[in-house]
Amino acid sequence: MTTHMLLETASHDEGAVYDRLTALLQGLAPEEAIRRIKEFLITFPSFALAHNDLGVLYHHAGNPTLALAHHEKAARLQPDTILFRKNLADFYAVELGWLEEAVDIYLEVVKRNPRDTEALIALGQLGSALAGSRTLDAPPQREQLESSHSVPAKAAIPTKSDQQRYQEAQLLVSQGSLAEARSLLEELVARQPANALFQNDLGVLCYQLGDTAAAQQKYEIAHKQQPGNVTFARNLADLYFSIVNRVDDAIHIYLDLLKQNPRDVETLTNLGHICTAVDRLEEAKAFYHQALEIEPWNTEARQALSVQPQSAQPSVPRPVRPVDQLVSDARQLVQQGQSSQARELLEEALASYPQHAVVHNDLGVVAYSLGDPGAAQVAYEQAVKLDPTNINFKKNLADLYFVAAGRTDDAIHMYLDMFREHPRDIEILAALGQICQAVGRPDESRSFYQRALEIEPWNREVREALEVM
């Protein structure tokens, strides 16, 4: 498919070739335009304008991750091109909510050109948003880059509606309102059927609500749309193995993942679990041994290897209850003061559902309450690894790092990452205030507390913390 372009570039410079390419892109479907520009970048990987335009197309296609990557690449390749820097700043501010990073970029633009009216207006809007006085409005439309390219050289300012809806769905999940979150994600999938993240997350909710048929459909769509995404692939493989009894398909997916990353301990361990369940004991042992060669401290692989049957007749009971029922029962035991029994039940659940992030997180909560912070840390870390978008899992791990593990820098780093994603989350602001106060950074602590009070002036806990500083 790329032969014609490669031959053509032998006698033309990259700018001329791209001019001709963009003239051909008019009227093409976004997927085809993306393919054409990606072919161009195989030959000219450092052509910044192509990365910028690809960022625009990926954003319109509902893939913000790749859009961000290409906008950042364009700005890195040509840091003096003001348009690329403005596009990146707009994406940071409106799509990701990274207001401070956007301010930094616009300040650099103003340093170069103090009379750049557009940058000055954007800085005013960003300053107001950071102060919490109003929501961020999209900056005014800019002209296209001065060139003959007919593909827009600037990113259209994205609307926040879908991103806000997605964040609302995440909040509903954290509050336990799974049915409402599912309805919201179904709306998003209807609006953006090509968004693999929405498809996958809807599958997760369907699975948690016991609708495994719908979960399978959504996982398969997400995996088809982004076959290289490890999380999507694992979700589908785990469902094939534990629910649908399509063991060969599960093994096939995991073997594909192993080809991509032969040193992925989680993939090796899961292959060991699957092979154990289907009586392929020697293969299971080989996978566990490989995992331990990479991570000798990995307790999951070591424990699985230690209980491998020595005879040829292993007995691996299949789960008789869905994971949500096991989690619910464990939480009831905790409420009844039977934390030890809850821990045993959650450990039993992990034997059948080793990739279920909620089980790992709940096990961490119970282990910590029983005075076992080491086990709690392992469980929290696994929960975050399995579901890195879940803010509650991150908070649990960051709190443990700070309170029990003495890893203050890691706790601060995690909370700052969460702050960039959720700048108006009171718990995050209060936690950052407490940590900064504890490590002798009172000015930063006071700043975080004050931000929290701007959002919730009635928050007595934060106000008392600020008053005693």
* Residues 279-307 pLDDT 10s: 788 888 888 888 888 877 777 778 777 77
| Residue among 154, 152, 92 at smallest CA distance from 126 | 92
Q: What whole-number distance in Å separates Cα of residue 289 and Cα of residue 316?
A: 20
Q: Give the pLDDT mean for 103-111.
A: 80
In the predicted model, what is the mean pLDDT of residues 24-44? 81
What is the pLDDT, as a whole number, of residue 310?
52
- Nearest Cα neighbor of 214 from 188, 192, 243, 191 is 243
- pLDDT band, residue 131 (cuts 50/70/90): low
Q: Is 118 exposed, middle or buried (0-12, 13-18, 19+ CB in 10 A)?
A: middle
Percent of the chain with pLDDT over 70: 85
Residue 10, pLDDT above cutoff 50: no
Higher pLDDT: 352 or 233? It is 233
Which residues does 459 contact at the CB level (< 8 Å), separation at least 6? Answer: 426, 430, 452, 453
Lowest mean pLDDT among 152-161, 219-228, 244-253, 448-457: 152-161
Look at residue 247 and tell me whether its pLDDT is greater than 50. Answer: yes
In terms of Cβ atoms closer than 10 Å to its own Cβ (0-12, 13-18, 19+), residue 253 is: buried
pLDDT > 60? residue 249: yes
Task: Check residue 221 and give its pLDDT.
Answer: 92
Tokens 């209060």 correspond to: 430
Compute the distance between CA of residue 177 and CA of residue 184 in angstroms, rounded to an integer: 11
**Interval 444-457 mean pLDDT:** 87
Using the predicted structure, report yes or no on whether residue 16 has a pLDDT greater than 80: no
Task: Express each pLDDT in 369-415 by its tens digit.
Answer: 888 888 888 889 998 988 888 889 999 999 998 888 888 888 888 88
d(CA 158, CA 383): 32
Domains along the sequence of the chain with CATH: 3-130 (1.25.40.10), 323-387 (1.25.40.10), 403-469 (1.25.40.10)
pLDDT at 116 over 50: yes
Q: What is the pLDDT of residues 156-204, one digit of tens each?
A: 333 446 777 777 887 777 777 888 888 888 988 888 888 888 898 888 8
Report d(CA 8, CA 251) in Å as an integer: 44
Q: Tell me what the mean pLDDT of segment 9-13 comes to.
A: 41
> In the chain, how many H helices and how many E strands?
26, 0
d(CA 209, CA 215): 9
pLDDT at 8 over 70: no
Output 202-208 pairs: Cβ under 8 A, ≥24 positions apart.
203/235, 204/235, 205/173, 205/178, 205/181, 206/182, 207/239, 208/178, 208/324, 208/358
DSSP sequence for 77-102? H-TT-HHHHHHHHHIIIIII--HHHH
CA 369 to chain centre: 28
Which pLDDT score is estimated for 13? Answer: 66
Tens of pLDDT, residues 36-68: 888 888 888 888 888 888 888 887 777 777 788
Q: For residue 362, name the pLDDT band (cuts at 50, 70, 90).
A: very high
